[in-house]
Amino acid sequence: MPTSDSEEDTPSSSNQTEGTKILLADPKTAILRLSLPMMIAMTLMTLYNVVDAFWVAGLGADALAAVGFAFPLFIITIGLASGLGTGGEAALARTIGARDRAGASSVAMHTLLLMTVLAVAVTIPLFLFAHDIFVLMGAGDAVGPATEYARILFLGTFALLFGEVAYALMHGEGDAKRTMYAMAAGAVANIVLDPILIYGLDMGIAGAAWATILAEVVAAVPMVYWLFVKRDTYISLRFREFSPDAAVARDVLQVGLPAAAEQLALALMALILNGVIVLIASTDGVAVYSVGWRVVSIGLTPILAISSAVVAVTGATYGARAYARMETALRFAARLGLGIGLGLAAATFIFAPRIAAVFTAGDAAGIAPELTTYLRVMSLVYPMVGFGLFSASFFQGTGLGARSLTITVLQNVVLSILFAWIFAAGLGLGLSGIWWGVAAGNAIGAALGYAWARRYSAGLLIRQAGATAA
């Protein structure tokens, strides 16, 4: 295996697909070509979340609050799948970088098997105990609609988890375009189905949940066709040839478990913030947070797409021991994210009142001023968000999932919650203090994470240079 950035680091064209050739090309080119399709797909997916919030807003503040209380549980479910998919993507990219096609296929099969076990383990308890969970969360009048909404969502857990894992595997082998097509199909289906089911068929909040499930099925169908029927991917998924290997499972889980824990940490943050919001303000504050975060997610979409590309490119360059190219990928992603973040921050800050007005029509109009404040405060952290996300993705690509988890917990749980409480209660800033605290925690945590990633990368280069000299 090569020990430096030389011609040997560029794989031969044999046994390579178009996606793997992109993945192992110049890191700057690879990040752009992998992230651009994902930006489009993730923008559509985020847009359907916002459209969902728009249609639910017409049902009143209680319905918005119900979605807000159900949101953390949904994050837990999708986060577990996303974490497992990230573990599979990172391990897959490393085997591609090491030119091990059989190993790549084994990684994919183990990831799908783990996904099936996860679907069963998650669905049953969350479905059975949804009502009790919302009571403990202090949902009040929103307990009934939140339970109805959540239980319907959990019926589609398998399709949801399969989609997340399949996206990650195809993206991990550099097949970003077809991943985009499948994700876009699901997003468009949800956008179309929302008004039909919520209002056309008068299903209310249950219609929003059913639209999500049906959209996940629509997105999963082409993935099943490409992976199991057409079989034109780099990985080969054949159950008859599958042989369980504990070492491969560990390779997936050493990133997958911490990545899933990161999503749980985000859910924990949302749960704690909901509690702090209820103490400081009321359930209307939860509605602000629910709608506001969905809108903010649009701003974060390009940065999240780049972050996903960093996992794959870092994994492939690390597998090839091309550490200089790996560092180039991290630095390029950071500069790209900074530029995008500055532009999005300016646009969001300026148009915040108009955005808030769109999503607080009808009975929810009373929360428009606070939603405007939320959007403006959170927009200020856009330029810094990428530094933390890319650093976490960098560590995932290198197989150091625990370090990625540390960055996420420090940034989103420890610092964000700490500053939120200090600003809201300690300084008496109330609900707006919570938003300022979350923004401050994210910015500081992102800077610390980036410094850690750069230090690790520099250490690899120094050790590699020493080994070459010896």
Show me where the domains of the chain are located.
Answer: 19-244, 257-469
Radius of gyration for the chain, computed over Cα atoms and rounded to the nearest angstrom: 22
* Complete DSSP assignment for 443-461: HHHHHHHHHHHHHHHHHHH
For tokens 């560029």, what's the residue? 10
d(CA 331, CA 226): 34
In this predicted structure, the answer to whether residue 470 has a pLDDT above a threshold of 80 is no
For 388, the 3-state DSSP assignment is helix
pLDDT at 318: 92
Residue 229 pLDDT: 87
Segment 448-466 shows an average pLDDT of: 92
Backbone φ, ψ for residue 380 (5° rounding): -70, -20
Tell me the pTM. 0.79
Alpha helices in 173-282 (DSSP H): 176-195, 205-224, 246-280
Q: Calculate the CA dihedral of residues 10, 13, 17, 18 and round it to 10 degrees.
A: 70
Exposed, middle or buried by CB within 10 Å (0-12, 13-18, 19+), for 457?
buried
142 versus 391: which is more confidently predicted?
A: 391
CA quadruple 388, 394, 397, 402: dihedral, nearest 10: -60
Least confident of 294-298, 348-352, 459-463: 294-298
Q: What would the mean pLDDT of 60-84 be, rounded to a whole number?
A: 76
Decide which of 260 and 48 is more confident: 260
Inter-CA distances, 334 with 38, 93, 245, 375, 392, Å: 17, 21, 36, 23, 12
**Mean pLDDT, all residues of the chain:** 83
The more confidently predicted of residues 3 and 21 is: 21
pLDDT at 250 over 70: yes
